[in-house]
Structure 1
Amino acid sequence: MAVKLLCLCLLLALLCLSWAKKQTCRTSASNCNECIQSGPECAWCDTPNAHTHCHTLRGLQRQGCPEHHIYNPQGGVQVVRNDSSTEPVGAQALLLQPQELSLRLRPGVSQSFPLTITMPTDQPITELTMDTSSVLPVVDITFSSIKEGNPLVTQVSVEAARCHSGSDDSNQNSTGPWSVHITPRGFSQSVKLEISLECQCDCMKSREENSPICSGNGALVCGQCDCSKLNIGQYCQRESDYFLPSNEDRCRSGPNAMVCSGRGECVDGYCVCNERTNPEERNTGQYCECTNYDCLYANARICGGQGKCDCGQCVCDDEWTGEDCTCSMAIASCMATNQRICNGKGNCQCGVCQCPYPYGGPTCETCFGC
């Protein structure tokens, strides 16, 4: 029993660690495009007073960003053409349904649809081929069988591993659309897919120049101030005391990034990070991109009081996990009297048993209606 319990504890720890790693986002992202490209779980809050612009959807909701101010594309599938055949079952024509689809892909988020193939009665079922010469190599298309026989139903799954970068060895455009034709071998009929990537925020195309929110010294883009060269600060409210055009680019983390992440001044090509009113709060990093205060709060304490803020992300203490370190990894509270976790009926999540009906109670030992 002790060995089984130890193995289960290790498994829970690994699952929690894996979950925590998947929930990281580049909170220091300089703009909306950089944010959503940093991971499939990352979203952007376009309100100027946002505590953090880039975080997970849950993280932005926890900090109070209104739903209609959150940009979190997930892609989708739209059937463009799905004509049904009027031919009898025994006809010699091949029938594919649907015939044309439009797919919008958020990198890391798979989109899928069923493809029905009705074969002529005197023809064997053949494999599917694709013409993907126009598609970037970051896009992957796979097939899996749903129903054998005639008609044959196949699940088509499409996923982009990442966004196309300027360093990729390709002359193709970065977001599509690209055309893909899926064809049963030996036939001329095919299914057309129009594939495009969602790697750019629509709000990046709109700039409110000399915005009052940016003190009239910069443009408001996606709820964030892009300051003029002579101003710095979250709202471009401060004049830069020192400015060297030839050195300014050395103070940016990327070509379009804010100078010193908007948290410092560029002096002789090096970032001098702003000091905070609270001496315990600090801006650090080569580009002042890291903070020890810009993390989620829970129970009125940063990282729930069970962790520390490291570069905008909570690093939880032992036995705690989650975005805000409020999920306990301890299982003692889930242990039933028979020494089984949640009585072997439910799952222990954050130190609380999640019991399936008809079981209930703190450790799933109560059976309602049994």
Structure 2
Amino acid sequence: MVVKLLYLWLLFCLNWAQEQRCLQSASSCDECIQAGSGCAWCNSPQAHIRCATTEKLRSTGCHGRHLYNPSGSIQVVKNYSGADPADDEALNLHPQEVTLHLRPGVSESFPLTISKATDHPTQEPIMDLSNVPAGVHVTFSSITKGNPQLLQVSVEAAQCPSKSGISNQNTTGPWSIRITPRGFSVSLRLEITLLCECNCTGSHEENSPDCSGHGTLVCGQCECYVPYFGKQCQMNGDSISPQYEDLCRRGPNAPVCSGRGTCVEGFCECNRRADPKETYSGRYCECSNFDCPRHNNRLCGGNGRCECGRCLCDSEWIHSACSCSMETASCLAKNQMLCNGRGVCECGKCDCIPPYVGATCEECPDCVDDCQDHAACVERFEPEQKRTRENRYLSRTSFLLRC
């Protein structure tokens, strides 16, 4: 039962993290599907949330016809059952040509059969690869041995290439890859294309009614013509009423939308940051999730989240930058007392009361032990005359008791 609950909790955390990653990359359909393999885009002009998991978008009312969530595909193009007489040799591959469409982060697999001539020695084939683009990984695993031998070929792309590269460079394919068993001339041809762009990106509806006739509808979003703006291009920048701007100020002399957004019909539309993880929020765009105290060069010490300029610390962490740990295990002395009872445990460290020192206040270089403490007292009360060894022992014992 405990294991099951733990599994469900981990699954919930993974889904939550995926949703957050999708929501933070909602500026365009292309950026959305590149944010993660579980991210989908809603093309509906009425959508309030556009980039999220498929389950999340469906729960917000986005119908299936408006959902775009590309998935990879495999197509066998050429798979001759027999050997080509012109290329007859001791080994054949099936299939001979495969087309792959890959969504980055998702592996696609297909079987590859290796047939050898009966008089050819059976050995583990070593596969040579050619023209594999950066970021694409091809792996092989044996399913059955013998003759014929069955392998599983798995192909995965780590991520979509950055658009900051060479403009005329083929960044998403198709690419042609050859898989050739070492020592032979026969090969398997793979044609790979990355799914990094939405199929709606190339579809533009000029003067769209969904954009009030003042913009182009692309993937459910309006690209407004100047001087119009707003979610549906409903606002004319040349005729903004000052009364609307007053509704977008925190005070009489405060900047519109705190200088971080645009006032649209009395409501602030906050600006987007270059980093999609950094956002402005609030009625007047007065809040941010990145302008908080740092510790060890990490926002909220890496132990909390930033909300409206304040760190909300995780459990077991306190202080303005979530820099102080509340755990006490590191303060336990050998006697299982916090800081040996000679100090205070703060932020996981002991603040010792002098003259005690050390990680758990168990060291005291200047302290006097019991023998040294009582020796002076014994010498002060012992008579100077000579005594027998027995009398001297009894005398010292009585003085120690007095001391």
Q: Structure 2 length as normaliser, TM-score?
A: 0.58
Aligned to 2:14: 18
1:51 matched to which residue of 2?
48
Q: 2:108: which partner in 1?
A: 111
Distance 1:16 1:213 in 2: 36
In 2, Cα distance between equivalents of 1:196 and 1:126: 30
| Alignment equivalent of 1:144, drawn from 134, 141, 144 | 141
Conserved in 1, the CA contact under 8 Å of 2:129 and 2:178?
Answer: yes
- Measured at CA, do residues 275 and 86 of structure 1 come closer, stay the same or move farther in structure 2, by a change above 3 Å? closer
Query: Does the 8 Å CA contact 2:122/2:146 hold for their aligned counterparts?
Result: no
What SS is found at the alignment partner of 1:61?
A: helix
Q: Tell me which residue corresponds to 1:124.
A: 122
Correspondence for 1:100 = 97
Cα distance in structure 2, aligned partners of 1:231 and 1:277: 16
- What is the letter of the counterpart of residue 13 of structure 2? L
TM-aligned CA distance change 1:207 to 1:97, over 3 Å? same
Question: Do the aligned residues in 1 keep the contact of 2:18 with 2:53 (CA within 8 Å)?
Answer: no
* One-letter amino acid of the structure 2 residue matched with residue 16 of structure 1: F
Unaligned ranges ≥5, structure 1? 244-265, 294-309, 319-370
- TM-superposed CA distance for 1:273, in Å, is 4.4
Aligned residue in 2 for 1:165:
162
Could you tell me which residue of structure 2 aligns to residue 256 of structure 1?
none
Distance 1:235 1:42, change over 3 A: same
Residue 130 of structure 1: how far off its partner (Å): 3.2
AA at the equivalent of 1:140: H
TM-aligned CA distance change 1:171 to 1:224, over 3 Å: closer
The structure number with the bigger radius of gyration is 2
3-state DSSP of counterpart to 2:113 = strand
The ranges of structure 1 where at least 4 consecutive aligned residues each deviate by more than 6 angstroms after the TM superposition are: 275-278
CA apart distance, 1:166: 2.5
Change (3 A) 1:45 1:18: closer
SS at match of 2:200: helix
Q: Which letter does structure 2 place at the counterpart of 1:77?
A: I
Find the residue that maps to 1:205 and give its secondary structure.
Answer: coil
1:189 aligns with 2:186: yes
Equivalent residue number for residue 35 of structure 1: 32
Alignment of 1:198 with 2:195, yes or no, is yes
Distance in 2, matches of 1:26 and 1:132, equals 38
Deviations 1:232-272 (A, max 9, x none): 111000122599xxxxxxxxxxxxxxxxxxxxxx98xx632
Structure 1 residue 284 displacement after superposition: 5.0
Residue 72 of structure 2, aligned match among 72, 75, 85: 75
* Mapped contact 1:163–1:197 kept (Cα < 8 A): yes
Q: Residues 25 and 35 of structure 2 are in contact (CA less than 8 Å); yes or no, is this contact kept in structure 1?
A: no
Answer whether contact 1:130 1:183 (CA < 8 A) is retained: yes
Whole-Å separation in 2 of the counterparts to 1:27 and 1:276: 25
Q: Distance in 1 between matches of 2:52 and 2:73?
A: 22
User: Does residue 272 of structure 1 match 2:261?
Assistant: yes
Bigger RCO of structures 1 and 2 (CA < 8 A, at least 6 apart): 1
Instruction: Provide the rounded CA distance (Å) in 2 between the counterparts of 1:155 and 1:291.
Output: 49
Report the CA distance between 1:124 and its aligned residue. Answer: 2.9
Report how many residues are paired: 264
What residue is the counterpart of 1:321 in the other structure?
none
Alignment of 1:1-370 (within 5 A): 13-24=9-20, 25-27=22-24, 29-85=26-82, 92-121=89-118, 122-133=120-131, 135-168=132-165, 172-240=169-237, 271-274=260-263, 287=273
Contact 1:211 1:218 survives alignment (8 Å): yes
Do the aligned partners of residues 26 and 173 (structure 1) sit closer, same or farther apart at CA in structure 2, a change above 3 Å counting?
Answer: farther
Structure 2 spans left out of the alignment, 5+ residues: 241-254, 284-306, 316-403
Q: Is the 8 A contact 2:115 2:148 kept in 1?
A: yes
Q: Secondary structure at the match of 2:260?
A: strand
Q: Which has the higher helix share?
A: 2
CA distance in 1 between counterparts of 2:234 and 2:262 reads 16
> Once the two structures are aligned, what percentage of the paired residues are identical?
47
Cα contact 2:222–2:232 (8 A) shared by 1: yes
SS in 1 for 2:31: helix
Residues 137-164 of structure 1, C-alpha deviations (whole Å, 9 max, x = no match): 1111111111111111111011111001
| TM-score of the superposed pair, with normalisation by structure 1 | 0.62
Verify the 8 A CA contact 1:215 1:236 in the aligned structure 2. yes
